[in-house]
Amino acid sequence: RAVIFSGIQPTGVPHLGNYLGAMQQWKRMQDEAAPDTKLIFSVVDLHAITVPRPRGLLSQWKREMFTALLAIGLDPDRCVLFYQSSVPAHSELQWILSCTASTGYLSRMTQWKSKMSLADDVTAFDDKVKRSLKHGLFSYPILQAADVLVHRATHVPVGDDQKQHLEFARECVTNFNSAYGGQHLVKPETIFSPAKRVMSLTKPSAKMSKSDADARSRILFTDSASAIRAKVMAAVTDSTNAVSYDAAARPGVANLLELLSHFDPAGRGAGELAASADLAGAPLKELKTRVADAVNAALAPIRDRFAELLARPDYLAGLVEQGAVRANQSAEETMKIVREAVELGA
Ligand code: TYM
């Protein structure tokens, strides 16, 4: 039986990268899954506390992200939707996995290394930097592995930046199963959407991200049609005012073409669109207008539903409670096996 699991941090309102790279795929998988496929999506609030954040906002951000899952069309009767912290088994399994996980592997993870901003030069690791780095950030991938493994996920749909974390989760399975002699945990497969790396509108060489200080670099679910248009029109391109596709030489234009391709009803790729009769050589403004229209058409119904749902706190609270019960049940099945394997069972 297939089990689809994925998670998203409660960073408030999701951006277009989250949507195209992950959430849209979750909805597609829900719609196409066999009836016996289990679908589980989590707002990973324990991951959110690995880095400093403004005080007083986390519960709002959680609510917004939970609402976003519903707004994109995930059906709470078909999917288990829950807050990670409402299922203590995630933390319990994290600890158990940490006892067979390799610190060497963890210290090679690119997210950790980039947070240390020292690439491969470990000798440059100065003491002040070290003190500011918290252990939770270091062991972040173990918690992520626990998220996936505790629900016996077989498929994990994510964007490209999660690739290494999922490889690590498979490594955790190998380590655990060999330490405790048996096929106790299941290795998950990573599933990428065609939009596995959506780029920033202002820095086309960087991925679109919540943490970019420049709000014009990303499009949010809550952006109005005019805000979307303004951001796309201001997107960084280059000085050649004619559409062509060259990802290396023209990353800004390529990014817009990629975006357009993700919304193309005919499923054409970026290069194909650039060569199409109505876009080849056209002024960049034409391309930008098409992108803004396509993004807005896709986001408008989500934006409306998002606002509607946020105005129904009691309905949301009920779903949060229902999700917690079901996710706890799902996790307990695995924890029985794990506790027995580790000899922690009663
Ligand atoms: P997070 O919250 O940063 O992002 C959620 C999902 O959105 C994808 N994504 C992107 N995809 C394409 N282009 C982009 N610019 C872009 N930005 C974000 C991410 O790849 C991700 O799929 N560690 C995870 C959360 C997590 C998780 C899990 C995921 C915790 N436990 C278990 C899967 C399974 C994270 O921080 O994603």
Find the 78 Cα to ligand 1 centroid distance in Å: 22
Find the 67 Cα to ligand 1 centroid distance in Å: 17
Find the 21 Cα to ligand 1 centroid distance in Å: 8
Question: What does the alpha-carbon distance between residue 185 and residue 172 come to, in Å, rounded to a whole number?
Answer: 9
Is residue 230 within 8 Å of residue 222, measured between CB atoms?
no
Hey, CA dihedral for 188, 193, 199, 200, is it positive or negative? negative
Q: Which residues does the annotation mark as catalytic? A: 115, 207, 210
Tell me which residue has its CA closest to atom 5 in ligand 1. 8
Does ligand 1 lie within 6 Å of residue 149's CB atom?
Answer: no
Domains detected in the chain: 3-198+313-342 (3.40.50.620), 215-307 (1.10.240.10)
Mean pLDDT of 172-197: 96
Best substitution site from 28, 143, 158 to test ligand 1's pocket, by max atoms within 8 Å of Cβ? 158
The mean pLDDT of the chain is 94
Beta bridge partners of 8: 43
Best substitution site from 4, 16, 18 to test ligand 1's pocket, by max atoms within 8 Å of Cβ? 18
Does ligand 1 lie within 6 Å of residue 207's CB atom?
Answer: yes
Does ligand 1 lie within 6 Å of residue 90's CB atom?
Answer: no
Does ligand 1 lie within 6 Å of residue 190's CB atom?
Answer: no
pLDDT class of 127 with cuts at 50, 70, 90: low
pLDDT class of 183 with cuts at 50, 70, 90: very high
Please write the tens of the pLDDT for every residue from 73-118: 999 999 999 999 999 999 999 999 999 999 999 999 988 888 776 5
Q: Which two tokens stand for residue 22?
A: 């992950």
Find the 303 Cα to ligand 1 centroid distance in Å: 20
What DSSP assignment string belongs to 124-145? Answer: G--HHHHHHS-HHHHSHHHHHH
Query: Which is more confidently placed, 166 or 51?
Result: 166
At residue 257, the pLDDT reads 98
What DSSP assignment string belongs to 245-264? Answer: --TTT-HHHHHHHHHHHHH-
What is the predicted ipTM? 0.99
pLDDT class of 119 with cuts at 50, 70, 90: very low
Does ligand 1 lie within 6 Å of residue 255's CB atom?
Answer: no
